[in-house]
Structure 1
């Protein structure tokens, strides 16, 4: 096999992840104790709102004892420590496994004296000058300088190595409030863009005709829902099954299922496959009572730190997956469920950390699957129209 033959794989959109996650910074240039204390303070301040993580390397000078059953050859040792969960691995963790383990984190701080990350916070400490000089190659994306008490300016070799060093903010290492504010501001700015997806690729077998074409309000429902989503989303797409795209009005963007035969689960996965760094406001096309107030409430209470933001369904007593905001961190979770033989989006919401809301008008969640339900909703819409 030649190198060119090996490059024939399908090119996929990759999430904008670093070594561990989307938002990661290594803290480099200070003593490890100082780095640990700084990470401790930042995580303590931000963890009530954001899911934070930390990565480091053991500082034991002696050989670290292998814990638990790993001594007898176990490849994994799991212990429920009641207040926390502990996993010990025998073998080295591969890069893709690191990304999986940190996928749910909003913020990852890394001890840059031992590990690397895609962005860096550099401590300027006179006592660690020589050590920092050895790590110049790690400084690929410096976003903040922190001056220790024993210095008043950036080292000359840093100025030479980083052309734009004067545009990078400089704080005192002791100014914890400003440092915490730096990370908080960056997390707010990195909130995933919200796109909309109208699920219209089903075969409507129980209805007997395409539910997306039902005209409730002067146009086919799939277009009515897409137009409603435009006020809340960056881009709006209509999800279609393979071969259905030609049926969609060219004024509307269609997104064809690439995970076929999985219904809504496949449509959600297909959306993330297209744009893995975006959040997706998913709305089924068979919700004729859905209104802007219900969507506005969902978007207003969106928690991008959760896997998803969804409404509680008074009918099923479970989260409603087809009027919900799915965050990018749900993509690997959905794939994991699929790998275990599950293709129910509701199961994903039930078994993950979500932001669950009560709908301001529960009737807005009503879906229509049969001709009998269609006639009932027609009467409800007629009554509402007459009342107005």
Structure 2
């Protein structure tokens, strides 16, 4: 049986959204904010959900909202804040710009949770996805070291911990599509699969 009591979801919603021009997690898809789609996907799989964002509008979702410990430090800063605050060993980390992600897809990460890895990430179309991944709490210390050294790239964290990469099947690749631009948003609204 799946023990979701030892798993937290950390949703990273602190990005600048410069290409979109507005906060991506609050954009609507099918009349529902992106972040609510993600909350709906992770809720059956976790015991707790943390939103990492300095935007007070995210408090409206009724979940714990925290801010970066090291401000303006990118995704690695958001991950550091979430992993520092979490009370669980296993943490499902997702950026707020993947509204098509599903519980079924995320279960494929969780299936490897008992293996001896610090992080388990997806790869789709040759691109690794460290922002749809499982991280152990001990990665917080590695994040901190990288931040102190001035490193902001999440890929450096993945290279510095024991990481497993799982392939996303071709037919599921659209589920992990990052919606970064108005064109991306129009494409999913028109039912285009990536």
TM-score by length of 1: 0.45
Mapped partners of 1:349, 1:335: distance in 2: 13
Question: Who is 1:338 aligned against?
Answer: 147
Q: Which residue of 2 aligns with 1:218?
A: 31
Q: What CA distance in whole angstroms lies between the structure 1 residues aligned with 2:45 and 2:51? A: 15
Flag the 1:207–1:312 CA change in 2: closer, same or farther, 3 A.
same
- Which of 67, 72, 81 lines up with 1:256 in the alignment? 67
Is 1:302 equivalent to 2:107 in the alignment? Answer: no
Q: 1:357 aligns with which of 128, 141, 166?
A: 166
Cα distance change, pair 300–218 in 1 and its aligned pair in 2 (3 A): farther
How far apart are residue 302 of structure 1 and its match? 2.1
Determine which of 118, 125, 135 is the counterpart of 1:314: 125
Contact 1:192–1:304 under 8 Å retained in 2: no
RMSD over aligned CA atoms reads 2.3
| Residue aligning to 2:185 | 374
TM-score, L = length of structure 2 = 0.86
Relative distance call for 1:231 and 1:276 in structure 2 (3 A) is closer
Instruction: Report 1 or 2 for greater relative contact order, CA contacts < 8 Å, sequence distance ≥ 6.
Output: 2
Say if 1:277 and 1:346 are closer, same or farther in 2 by CA, change over 3 A: same
**Local SS of the residue matching 1:248:** helix
5+ unaligned residues in a row in structure 1: which ranges?
Answer: 1-188, 384-388
Name the counterpart of 2:99. Answer: 288
Q: Does 1:194 align with 2:194?
A: no
1:12-56 CA deviation, whole Å, 9 max, x = no partner?
xxxxxxxxxxxxxxxxxxxxxxxxxxxxxxxxxxxxxxxxxxxxx
Q: Which structure is larger by alpha-carbon Rg, 1 or 2? A: 1
Partners in 1 of 2:31 and 2:97 — Cα distance? 15
Structure 2 runs not aligned, ≥5 long: none
State the match for 2:20 in structure 1: 207
* 1:287-329 CA distance string (max 9 Å, x none): 132122211111122245211011123253xx31100011122
Cα shift at 1:213 = 1.4
Q: Which deviates more from structure 2 when the two are superposed, residues 319-328 or residues 351-360?
A: 351-360
Give distance in 1, aligned partners of 2:88 and 2:146: 19
Q: Secondary structure at the match of 1:287?
A: coil
Once the two structures are TM-superposed, the CA of residue 353 in structure 1 deviates from its matched residue by 1.5
For the 8 Å contact 1:240–1:255, the answer to whether it is kept is yes
Task: Identify the residue that residue 168 of structure 1 maps to in structure 2.
Answer: none
- CA deviations on 1:49-75 (whole Å, 9 max, x unpaired) are xxxxxxxxxxxxxxxxxxxxxxxxxxx
